[in-house]
A = this chain, B = another copy of it.
Amino acid sequence: MIVVLKNNTPKAQVDGFMQKLRERGFEVHVSKGESATVLGLIGDTSKVEPEEMLAYDFVESAQRVKAPYKQVSRSFHPEDTVVSVGGNSVGDGKSVCVMAGPCSVETEEQVVEVAKAVKASGARFLRGGAFKPRTSPYSFQGLGAEGLELLKVARKETGLPIVTELMAINQIELFSDVDIIQIGARNMQNFDLLKEVGKLRNPILLKRGLASTVKEFLMSAEYIMASGNPNVILCERGIRTFDNYTRNCLDLSIVPYLKKETHLPVIIDPSHACGIRWMVPTLAKAAVAVGADGLIIEVHNNPEKALCDGEQSLTPAQFDETMKILAKYAAVEGRTL
């Protein structure tokens, strides 16, 4: 960590401050320049926030040199983490793993029909929401526990492992049999929930918050890993900007950045990012081009009747067509779907 002191800080204060830092276990290097004195702190700075230094009025600024995360870092764990479920791998570098299904689970017929269709087109996981985070208390909140059961029926019918969102600590027991547990964007910094899923061994699909920096995103993954669960999949799903011609802005640059900075698999959710059906296939192609390990795509057998997010759901036929073109893109990189 680099700490810049104000120019006219009395020597006694500088010395006292350095003494305190040494007592906290840091080695301290000093560079005295014409306009500022710069201290370099060497040691384990992961427990110190740069902002803490600003509690001292003579500190001008403080910045980390080393990332504040450890276990998620590629420098800590150089090999790619591969999350494997029922023979399907996410992050193996050879495949682009597609998860597909309806935004909300509605009926057994619906979820089984969609599951069969997406499997036929090459999807490797069935996604579907049972507990739904909705901006309005008056909107459909999902079927809850019953929805989970319907997903399991569809899993039994098709063999597809299931991915579904967990919203609260007190629902965790219901999720023991879920193949991949999703933590949604709005809960990315629900730290108690992160700690709890960190105690499980089910793979966790962690979505980036709407306005979360990459550093915050990785710190949330670190919460899960620090609690003991190494099976984390990162998912970009669009961020909030000043414009709204799409619902969110899909930040595709994060894929190459994360693949370099961390060893965890990275997938893209084009459906929630744009929120418009016709744009989903185009963004999915770009996700493959930037090196995503997978995609999570909404598919509904009757989008106009969907209880949630129908506007962004592909029909099974559109999904099938999309998968064919995605396979060509994957092939350019020597990958398969």
User: B-contacting residues of A (Cβ < 8 Å)?
Assistant: 2, 4, 7, 27, 29, 31, 33-36, 38, 40, 42-43, 46-47, 49, 51-57, 60-61, 63, 65-66, 68-69, 75, 133-139, 167-170, 186-187, 189-193, 195, 210-211, 213-216, 219, 222-223, 226-227, 239-243, 245-247, 249-257, 260, 273-279, 282-283, 285-286, 288-291, 303-304, 306, 309-311, 313, 325, 328-329, 332
Contact = CB atoms under 8 A, between A and B. Distances in A.
A167 B139 contact: no
Contact of A190 (B186, B219, B226, B310): B186
A251 to B, nearest CB: 6
A176 to B, nearest CB: 17
A279 B223 CA distance: 28
For the complex of A and B, 10 pairs with smallest distance between CB atoms: A211-B211, A55-B310, A54-B311, A168-B192, A31-B40, A29-B31, A186-B189, A33-B42, A286-B286, A289-B289
Given A46-B136, A49-B139, A192-B167, A253 B242 contact: no
A310 B54 CA distance: 8
B65 A283 contact: no
A31 B28 CA distance: 9
Given A252-B252, A332-B328, A279 B257 contact: yes
A324 B279 CA distance: 27
A223 B283 CA distance: 30
A193 B219 contact: no
A52 B310 contact: yes
17 contacts: A31-B31, A35-B75, A51-B247, A52-B310, A52-B311, A53-B311, A54-B275, A55-B306, A55-B310, A69-B136, A168-B169, A213-B245, A214-B245, A246-B257, A288-B289, A289-B289, A325-B332
A276 B56 CA distance: 11
Nearest to A239: B241
A227 to B, nearest CB: 7
Nearest to A186: B189
Task: Name the residue among A61, A219, A277, A285 with the largest chain B CB count within 10 angstroms.
Answer: A285
A31 B26 CA distance: 13
Contact of A139 (B47, B56, B139, B214): B47
A329 B330 CA distance: 10
Contacts of A52: 310-311
Nearest to A38: B40
Contacts of A168: 169, 190, 192-193
A211 B216 CA distance: 14
Contacts of A240: 211, 242
